Chain A
Amino acid sequence: MKNNKIKSIIQAFFTDLLFWIYVFGCSYFLIHSWFEIELTNTNIHILIAALVFTLVFLSFGMSLGRKIFSPTKLTNLKWKKTFWGWTIVFLLVITFVVGWNLVEVNPYKFFTQFKNARGISSGIFDPSIIGYKLTEKSFEELRENDVPLVVLEKLERIKNKSYTTKKVLSLDLKKKLDANELLEYKSSIFEYAQKNSNMLNIALSALAETIFLALLATIFAIPFAFVLSFLAARNLMPKTFLGNSVYLIVRTIATIFRSIEAIVWAIIFSVWVGIGPFAGMLALMIHSIAALTKLYSEQIENIDEGPVEAIKATGANTFQVWIFAVIPQIISPYLAFTIYRWDINVRMATIVGFVGGGGIGLLLLQQQQLLRWHNVGVIIWLIAAVVWIMDMTSAKVRAKLVEM
């Protein structure tokens, strides 16, 4: 009884303290950013002020913590037009204002600076899957089609130069040829400027890299996650000290590893094994092991215990119980989760590529840095197509697996 009272006072005290620290912290932040007032030792001042307010208000019985931890349901308390009701409103307002400042929300920029994104948006709406290039062969073909040598000589300078669109090529043609020549030969030059799909090829092979990188990361993660999931399943681990410890350790490590984003792993591994798809694969693999272990073990915890008991009752040993009663029940959800994971990994592989994980992400980064917006457009559309196809097929396959 007494213990409970002390516990509830301590809970209330720390809740109130946090509340006041938050209020003073936010207020200071606002004063600081609006009036540019600088205080020394702010942290200590805030803490002391919060402590004083907490103690004063607590002793007058005005405590948010007591309200929250009181046995009455929160919804049954009177919030309207009470001191704490107003406090909550104040808290929400201050949070919103501070948030607005911190995030540097600026609607003006949003509506007036669209022109900055013109490069990339024109790239997206005009991806240059097909490029133009005057190769040796194009020159021969032009000659055979009675284009005079004078004209061809003028074009010598742009031989083998790649153009992403017709428009860019015609700009160069205008510089090289005079108006009459241009009028007469433009269409045949366009016709024989060999269409080259180099960018598409490069992007496709980078995309294949990404898909296979994601696939390998998933496949390599499966055996680890499979074994770990049995150790992380509450209902399979014996209720002994050893069983409980194994369960707790595996669960904790999986949770920690899962909460570290794949992008962080990619940064680590791109230093470790060098920039490239291997680093990306390792990053996705680590993250997948942790994520799959959790999903798999939850699946084991949800199995029908009946068959497990029935197999135990035949005199089977633990491994036989796993093989005959547990695995048949989890195999199709496992497959479904794995395919889903592959789907997620393909998406993550793109992001991971940005920080050194290779594949289409890396290509996208390079092209973006070179400001080749039409190439960026190609890459973005390819990524979108793959994600869309994977999404659809994996949903279909998973639906089929659930029926199994």
Chain B
Amino acid sequence: MNNIIEIKDLHKIYARGTHALKGMNLTVKEGEFCILLGLSGSGKSTLLRCMNKLIDSTSGEIYICDGDVVKATGKTLRRIRRQIGMIFQQFNLIKNLTALTNVLTGKLGYVSLGHSVTFAQHKADMKLAMDNLKRVGLLEFADKKVKNLSGGQQQRVAIARALMQNPRVILADEPVASLDPATADSVMRYLGELNKKDNMTVICSLHFLSLARKYGTRVVALKDGEIVFEGTPKEIDEKKFKKIYGEEAEEVEIK
């Protein structure tokens, strides 16, 4: 299997001087479900956001889907981005638009400005968007405004939006942190399905070890901007857990 993500000696220093990533090296193979663990502030979001250049990295190299993310600008950058779906903790949907319109925005990287303001005229896009909504079980909510949906439903709309991009990689930044445990598992199930059925590579930051064990094929743990553990989810025992989360930490079980 080929490497779909390669990160070499990545540093990120924020404007106010926080050294959030300290020489990160990471390689992800196509088809992996890679879980990022680590305390708040350990650099998970920073790493994910550098990967599609939502923020600029300070130094280092990032290659995703054969594209040089660090050097890319303008059209090249947008070509890379459209192959990378992103899921956020706060869903980041446009709240006063319908679920369908939100899903359609996943297509923006592939179409012209004129095309994107006349989506309704493009039957193929509409059908694809409906199919993706159906896939996340929200077909009957297509014409509902997103703000009237529950948290779990909103996150599923966000997954459908990412699917619309037909991505090779999915970056998920704490996708279930704002959801209750039962909903969290159902959302993770969709991500697991995309990974297994559609062979999409998933990088997902999480706080629950149980979910990591259930869906992850690999775990990368960060602490203060450095990788402190790499391996399979099963390898994480109490000692390693304490190393990642600190001595006082206690694992909470989530079914």
Contact = CB atoms under 8 A, between A and B. Distances in A.
Interface in A321-336: 323-325, 328-329, 332
Contacts of B85: 313-314
A306 interface: yes
B117 interface: yes
A320 interface: yes
A315 interface: yes
B44 interface: no
B93 A314 contact: no
B90 A314 contact: no
B84 A313 contact: yes
Contacts of B110: 315
Nearest to B90: A306
Contacts of A148: none
A403 to B, nearest CB: 10
B94 A314 contact: no
A314 B96 contact: no
Contacts of B96: 328-329, 332, 404
A311 B108 contact: yes
Given A309-B54, A323-B117, A314 B109 contact: yes
Residue of A309, A320, A323 with most chain B CB atoms under a 10 A cut-off? A320
A324 B94 contact: yes
Contact of A317 (B84, B94, B113, B117): B113
B92 A307 contact: yes
A316 B94 contact: no
Interface in B82-124: 82-86, 88, 90-97, 105-110, 113, 116-117
A27 to B, nearest CB: 51
Nearest to A323: B117
A324 B54 contact: no
Contact of A306 (B88, B108, B113): B88
Contacts of A10: none
Nearest to B105: A324
A111 interface: no
Interface residues of A, number: 20
Contact of B113 (A311, A314, A320): A320
B105 A316 contact: yes
Interface string A290-318: 00000000000000001101111111110
B46 to A, nearest CB: 13
Contacts of B205: none
A272 interface: no
A319 interface: yes
Contact of B165 (A306, A314, A324): A314
B78 interface: yes
Interface residues of B, number: 32
Contact of A328 (B81, B88, B97, B165): B97
Nearest to A312: B54
B84 A320 contact: no
A314 B78 CA distance: 8
Contact of A315 (B82, B88, B94, B95): B82
A310 B160 CA distance: 13
Interface string B190-209: 00000000000000000000
B81 A307 contact: no
Contacts of A311: 94, 105, 108
A309 B78 CA distance: 13
A331 to B, nearest CB: 8
B85 to A, nearest CB: 8
A320 B54 CA distance: 16
Nearest to B75: A317
B79 interface: yes
B168 interface: no
Contacts of B95: 307
Given A306-B88, A320-B113, A324-B116, A313 B94 contact: no
A332 B116 CA distance: 22
A314 B105 contact: yes
B223 interface: no
A317 B93 contact: no
Contacts of B132: none
B42 interface: no
A299 to B, nearest CB: 14
A327 to B, nearest CB: 9
A307 B94 contact: yes
Contact of A316 (B83, B88, B92, B108): B108
A320 B108 CA distance: 7
A360 B113 CA distance: 46
Nearest to B109: A315
Which of B83, B86, B88, B92 is packed against the most chain A CB atoms within 10 Å?
B92
A317 B84 CA distance: 15
A314 B97 contact: no
B105 A317 contact: no
Nearest to B49: A309
A316 B52 CA distance: 13
Given A310-B88, A324-B116, A316 B97 contact: no
A330 to B, nearest CB: 10
A234 to B, nearest CB: 15
B156 interface: no
Which of A306, A319, A323, A404 neighbours the largest number of chain B CB atoms within 10 Å of its CB?
A: A306
A193 to B, nearest CB: 61
Nearest to A311: B105
Nearest to B93: A307
3 A-B pairs closest in CB distance: A315-B109, A315-B82, A316-B108
21 contacts: A307-B95, A309-B54, A310-B86, A310-B88, A310-B92, A310-B93, A310-B161, A313-B81, A313-B85, A314-B81, A314-B165, A315-B80, A315-B83, A315-B110, A316-B109, A324-B116, A325-B94, A328-B94, A328-B96, A328-B97, A332-B96
